[in-house]
């Protein structure tokens, strides 16, 4: 949960991007980093393999001004998409304040999206969290693909809780900030 430092009058929140490998989690963070002024963002730390797949996490501290006299900072992380790094996925979820689940719109990734969502649910349970007691949103990425799944099918397969969902093409920045704004707002509303 959010870390509140009363002496420094600072609130630190953690947002985790979760989803399948190569679904666009890291692309979201890279786009956000490229668009923000250096004074409002920290260094983008990325651990990747030779094929550009995130091995452990991406981390981007983001300063979003103040809330009720407290300076708010959001730290953005991604989990590795590869199933073999599940221990890292679990660890990165520790202390999470909100989640952006990034679904790959490619019709061939439908099953992987569902498996990744179930994996997220299982890993959240390790911290006594459920999708009912943590803010989360869905991002349907890669909407520019010729074989993109219809939104109705993505909603039926992944959005059984009726959370906010956004269409995106993260490589072009479409939907990236709308998704981030929505989860940030949910987290801040919960803090108040």
- Comparing 5-9, 132-136, 139-143, 160-164, which segment has the lowest mean pLDDT? 5-9
Taking the CA of residue 95 as centre, how many other CA atoms within 13 Å lie in the half-sphere pointing to its CB?
12
pLDDT at 9: 82
Cβ 80 vs Cβ 57: under 8 Å: yes
Q: Which pLDDT tens digit goes with each residue over 40-64?
A: 777 777 766 555 555 444 455 667 6
Please name the residues in contact with 146: beta carbons below 8 A apart, sequence gap of 6 or more: none
pLDDT of amino acid 73: 83
pLDDT for 59 equals: 58
Per DSSP, the three-state class of 106 is: strand
Q: Please give the Cα distance from 3 to 75 (Å, whole number).
A: 11
Structure confidence by residue, pLDDT tens digits, 73-123: 888 899 988 777 898 899 999 999 999 999 999 999 999 999 999 999 999
State residue 50's pLDDT score: 54
Pull the structure tokens for residue 92: 């990165």
> Domain total for the chain?
1
Q: Which tens digit of pLDDT belongs to each residue from 134-159?
A: 999 999 999 999 999 999 999 999 99
pLDDT of 152 reads 98
Domain that holds residue 49: 3-191
Q: Which residues of 136-166 are buried (b: 16+ CB within 10 A; e: fewer)?
A: bbbbbbbbeeeebbeeeebeeebbeeebbbb
How far apart (Å, rounded) are the C-alpha atoms in residues 91 and 89?
A: 6
pLDDT score for 41:
76
pLDDT at res. 56: 42
Q: What is the CATH number of the domain that holds 82?
A: 3.40.50.300
Task: Output the six-digit token pair for 49.
Answer: 């393999």
pTM, entire model: 0.91
Task: Give the per-residue pLDDT at 150.
Answer: 98
């Amino acid at each position: 949960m959010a870390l509140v430092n009363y002496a420094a009058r600072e609130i630190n929140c953690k947002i985790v991007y979760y989803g399948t490998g190569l679904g666009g989690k890291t692309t979201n963070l890279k786009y956000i980093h490229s668009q923000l002024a250096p004074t409002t963002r920290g260094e983008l730390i990325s651990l990747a393999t030779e094929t550009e797949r995130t091995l452990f996490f991406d981390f981007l501290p983001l300063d979003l001004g103040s809330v009720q006299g407290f300076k708010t900072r959001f730290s953005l992380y991604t989990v590795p998409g590869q199933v073999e790094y599940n221990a890292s996925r679990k660890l990165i979820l520790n202390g999470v304040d909100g989640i952006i689940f990034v679904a790959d719109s490619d019709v061939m990734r439908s099953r992987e999206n569902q498996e990744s969502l179930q994996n997220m649910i299982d890993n959240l349970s390790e911290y006594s969290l459920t999708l009912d007691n943590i803010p989360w949103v869905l991002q349907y990425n890669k909407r520019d693909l010729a074989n993109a799944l219809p939104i109705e099918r993505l909603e039926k397969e992944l959005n059984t809780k009726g959370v906010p969902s956004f269409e995106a093409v993260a490589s072009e920045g479409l939907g990236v900030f709308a998704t981030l704004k929505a989860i940030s707002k949910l987290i801040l509303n919960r803090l108040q």
